[in-house]
Amino acid sequence: MFDDPFGDSYVRVKKRRETAESIAARLTAEGEELQPVKAHGKAIASSFWGRAWCRAIEDWQDYESRLPAGRSLLKNGGVIDLKLSENRAQAQVVADRLYQVQIRFGGVEEEQLNALRNACAGKLTSLIDLIRGDLSDDVMQLICDPSFGLFPRYSELKPSCDCLDDAVLCRHAAAALYAIAPRLDEQPELFFTLRGIDPESFFALETVAGTEMESDLSAEDLSATFGIEIDL
């Protein structure tokens, strides 16, 4: 029997959670290092990057019929592993069984980055604020702009899953998409990893509009805070 891609009618929430916990325990015992994801409340995410990620994917009207099922899977503990790398997310998602999901994103074009750099020139003066999402409303709007902002467009999305659902976006891939949001709450620097962007050079941090940018923390402090190597 395969997972029903359209609803939760025959898989009770309690049973799904038990199945997810059992599979996660087995994989851990076999030596896998899982990175599970839990939703941060009803809103899924709480940080700027996490909330903005949710808004971005919910604007993809072509996939809106599949997103609620993915959101439900995440909330019920179905995403037992999520790993993010450049332009790619890999996840293990449990519904009635374990599903392997991979999502590829198109890279951010240099022309797009340059347009955003120019639009934000002089409006951002701190690397730490950029990573934390402590930005002015003007900069937030620019970064989230659907035309040239940093968030992926639905046309860039290339999901794959080993389920039998032949839709472009199955519920398991939708769960993995949503899972990125709470992961960004915990590790906001992963947004830049996922989009293939160096956060230090993104806004030309040494000089913007002819002025030196401030650094709230030393390179060592930034690396310790976010787990990334930054050479200022």
pLDDT tens-digit series, residues 65-77: 789 999 999 999 9
Give the whole-angstrom CA distance, residue 230 versus residue 232. 6
pLDDT at residue 11 tops 90: no
Residue 88 β-bridge partners: 85, 104
> How buried is 108 (Cβ within 10 angstroms: 0-12 exposed, 13-18 middle, 19+ buried)?
buried
Query: In the prediction, which pLDDT does 191 show?
Result: 94
Structure-block tokens of residue 64: 């809106």
Q: How confident is the model at residue 6 (pLDDT cuts 50, 70, 90)?
A: very low
pLDDT of 139: 87
**Contacts with 119 (C-beta within 8 Å, 6 or more apart), sequence order:** 142, 148
Average pLDDT, the chain: 82
Q: What is the pLDDT at residue 208?
A: 42
Q: Which tens digit of pLDDT belongs to each residue from 130-185? A: 888 888 888 888 899 887 889 998 888 999 999 998 888 999 999 999 999 999 99
Per-residue pLDDT at 199: 78
Does residue 210 register a pLDDT over 80?
Answer: no
Q: What is the band of 51 on the pLDDT scale with cuts at 50, 70, 90?
A: very high
Given pLDDT bands bounded at 50, 70 and 90, which one contains residue 203? Answer: low
pLDDT at 126 over 60: yes
63 vs 179 pLDDT, higher one:
179
Model confidence at 1: pLDDT above 80: no
pLDDT at res. 56: 92
* pLDDT-derived band at 205, boundaries 50, 70, 90: very low
For residues 145 and 139, the answer to whether their CB atoms sit within 8 Å is no
